[in-house]
Amino acid sequence: MANMLKRDLEALVRRIEAADGARVASDPWRQHFHLEPPAGWLNDPNGLCRWGEWYHIFYQYSPFDTRGGIKLWGHYRSRDLLHFERLQPMLYPDQPWDLHGVYSGSALVEDDAMYLYYTGNVKHEGDFDYITAGRGHNTALAVSRDGVTVERKTLLLENRDYPSDLTCHVRDPKVWAQDGRYYLVLGARTREDRGVLLVYESADKYRWKLQNRITTPEKFGYMWECPDLYCLDGRWFLQCSPQGVARQGDKYQNVYTCGYFPLHGDFRGACRLGEFTELDSGFDFYAPQTFLDGQRRLLIGWLGMPDAPYENPTAARGWQHCLSVPCVLERAGEKVYRLPVPELKTLRRGAVAPQDAQVFDLEAETELRGRLAIRDSAVVAWEQGRLTLTLTQGGYGRDTRVLEVEQVHSLRVLADTTSLEIFVNGGEGVLSTRYYPNPEQRGVTVEGAAASLWEMGAITMTENWEGTAK
C-alpha cells in the first residue's frame, strides 16, 4: 500500500512548485550558474554522488516555507555539472521516525543500488529544551534502485543506541566503503556541550557498531554538524561544521563555522586531530559535503548560514538560498585547497569590458596591494597579511569579512547575480557571500592586478519529475 502521507506531500510539492515556480524563476535576483530551490528554502547539500553516468545532488528542501520548515530531500542530477535535471524530491518525512524532517545525510553507491543514509528528525510535543530531551535523531537508510524513487526505508539507530553521555543531537551520517567494510560517521553534542564525532563500522550496511569517538583535547564548539572524513592524497582530514566556536580576531567571524582538522593516525583506533582550518572566510558558506568522482574529490557547500544576523531579501519573493559551485579539493601539506571544477570554464562566453561586467569569471595576478570594486556594491581589498571583503550596498546586514593571508598572488572571482565566490592564491583561502545589488548594476574596477574577465553563461535546468531517461 502506498504511504498516504508521502502521496499527499508529493502532490502538495507539485502544486507549490507549479503555483510559485514561474514567479520565482522570473525574479531578477535568480542566478545563472548556481543551484537554487524551485520555490521555498534550500540548505545543506546531501547524498552527493556519481552513480554511472549521473551526478546526483540532493539538498535540504523546504518547499512549504521560505524561511525553513519541514525538510525533504530535493533532487538534481546532471551528467556534466552544466546541464541539470530537476527531479521529484527523493525523501519525504513519512515515517514515525522522520516525521519532522528528513535531515542531512550522504550516499553510498554500489552497482545495483543507491543507499541514502540520513537523519530522521522528530520533535515531541511538550515542554522540552529539544537538546537533552524531546527530540529524536534517528539514523536511517533509504534504498533506491533507479536513482529516482525510494524502494524501502529502514530505521538503523535511535537515540537510545548512542552513547549515554550525548544529548539528543546526533546527526548527519556520512558513509563510505573501505577495506571491505563500511564506515559511518555522525556529528554529536555531548551533555557537557562539546562537539564530538562518532565512528561506526558495518559489514552489511544495516547493522552498525560504534568503533571510535574522536574529539579535540580542548573543547571546540558544542556541536559538530555535517561531518565528513576523507583521505586526500595520502592524508586524512575530518571536515565538519562546528557550532559555538567563539570569534578569535579574524577567525570564526560567523555564528557557525566550517572547516577541517588533519587527522593523524587511524580513525578506527588511536588518532589525534591537528589544527582546525576554516574552509571559507565569507558570510555564507556552511555544511559542505565531499564525494569521490573517479580520482578527484569534489565539494559542494550551502551558500547560506543558519541563525545569521543578516538576511536574504528573496525570502519575501518566494525562495531563499543556493548551493555553492562544485569545487575540486587538493592537498598542500596539511591544508585543503579548493577551486571551482574546470567544467565551469565552459560557461565563459567571451571577454567582457570591465564597465559591462555583471555575471562574470575573473582571474587576476595581483600586486602587493590593490582592490576590486564590483557592481558598486562589493569591494575586495588586499595588502600584506589581510584580504577584506566589504559589502557597501545590498548586503542586508552583511558588512566586512577578513581573510588572513601572508600575501595575495592571485584571485579568481566567480560573480553570479547575487553571489560572490572569491578564491585566493589558487584556493588557499575562499570567501563566499550572498549580496543583493540592484539587478541592473554593472561594472568592475581593478586596481593593482592584471585581470582577465569573462562574461558567464548559465547552467541549464530541465524539469523531469519522473526522472525518465533523456
Measured CA to CA, the distance from residue 291 to residue 78 in angstroms comes to: 15
Does 279 contact ligand FRU by CB under 6 A?
no
CB of 174 to ligand FRU, least distance (A): 11
Going residue by residue from 239 to 258, which x/- string records binding to ligand FRU, judged by CB under 6 A? --------------------
Q: Which one, 43 or 78, has the nearer CB to ligand FRU?
A: 43
Please tell me which residue in 8, 27, 44, 416 is annotated as part of the active site: 44
| Torsion angle (degrees, nearest 10) of CA 239, 241, 247, 249 | 30
27 is catalytic: no
Does 280 contact ligand FRU by CB under 6 A?
no
Q: Tell me the β-bridge partners of 285.
A: none
Query: What's the full length of the chain, in residues?
Result: 470
R_g of the chain, CA atoms, integer Å: 21
CB of 356 to ligand FRU, least distance (A): 37
Site for ligand FRU in 377-416 (CB under 6 A): none
Tally Cβ neighbours within 10 Å of residue 285. Answer: 26
Does 324 contact ligand FRU by CB under 6 A?
no
Q: Tell me the β-bridge partners of 360.
A: 415, 455
Q: Which one, 104 or 216, has the nearer CB to ligand FRU?
A: 104
| Chosen residue from 171, 189, 321, 412 binding ligand FRU by CB under 6 A | 171
CB of 103 to ligand FRU, least distance (A): 3
Measured CA to CA, the distance from residue 34 to residue 442 in angstroms comes to: 19
Going residue by residue from 22 to 51, which x/- string records binding to ligand FRU, judged by CB under 6 A? ---------------------xx-------
CB 208 within 8 A of CB 184: yes
**Exposure class string for 197-218: b at 16+ Cβ within 10 A, else e:** bbbbbbeebeebeebbebebee
CB of 304 to ligand FRU, least distance (A): 8
Q: How many residues bind ligand FRU (CB under 6 A)?
A: 14
Tally Cβ neighbours within 10 Å of residue 452. Answer: 11
| Chosen residue from 31, 60, 88, 366 binding ligand FRU by CB under 6 A | 60
Does 69 contact ligand FRU by CB under 6 A?
no
Residue among 153, 134, 23, 138 nearest 92 (CA): 153
Going residue by residue from 330 to 369, which x/- string records binding to ligand FRU, judged by CB under 6 A? ----------------------------------------
Report DSSP state, residue 46: E
Measured CA to CA, the distance from residue 156 to residue 151 in angstroms comes to: 16
Does 137 contact ligand FRU by CB under 6 A?
no
Measured CA to CA, the distance from residue 377 to residue 394 in angstroms comes to: 7
CB of 301 to ligand FRU, least distance (A): 10
Amino acid at 353: A
Q: Which residue has the cell 530537476?
A: 86
Does 174 contact ligand FRU by CB under 6 A?
no
Active site residue ranges: 44
Q: Where do contacts with ligand FRU occur on this chain (CB under 6 A)?
A: 43-44, 60, 71, 103-104, 119, 171-172, 225-226, 286-287, 306
